[in-house]
Chains A and B, each alone.
Chain A
Amino acid sequence: MLPYLLAAWLFLVGLYGVTTSRNFIHLVMCLSVVQSSTYVLILALGYRVNATAPISKDVPLGTRAVDPVAQSLVLTDIVVGVVVTALLLSLALQIHKRTGTLRPDDLHVMEG
C-alpha cells in the first residue's frame, strides 16, 4: 500500500507546487514531480516480491519476473518527459524574453 500512497503524495505535492508557484522554472520542475508519480504508480502495480527483472539473459526460462509491460511503458515515458520538460522550459524562456518576468502571477492578460 505504501508505494501507492507515495504515488498519490507525489502527485498532490507536485500539483500544490504548480498552483502556488512563483517562478515558471519552478513550475516546470513541479510538473516533473507530478509526472514522476505516474512512474511510481505504474512500476508499483507491476512489482512482484522475490522475482527477478524481466531479463532472461542469465536465468533459466520461466523464472518468476516482474511485469515487463509496466517497465516498457515507464521507460518511454521518462524519455518523452525529459524532452517535454525542455519544451516547457523554452516556453518559460520566451515568456521571460517578451515580458521580462518569470512570475506566473504577473501575467494577467492574454497577449497576441
Chain B
Amino acid sequence: MLALTVNGEPMDVPFGTSVAGLLALIGLAAKKVAVERNLEIVPRSLYGDILLSARDQIEIVHFVGGG
C-alpha cells in the first residue's frame, strides 16, 4: 500500500493507484473537484495517467458557498 496524506488526513491506497483511481476510491466525481499533488495542480486530463507515490500530499477541493 501507499501511504498518502489527503486533505490533511492519512490514507492508504494500493500501489499503482492513479489520481482518477483515488477519486473513485473516495467516491468523488472528477468534474466537480480540483486536485493538487505536492503543491502542483494536476490537470484533469491527466487524472488517469498520473500514478500516486508514497508520501504524496494531496489536496482535493471544490466550490462551496462564499461571499
**A, B: real partners:** no
B: which residues have CB within 8 A of A?
A: none
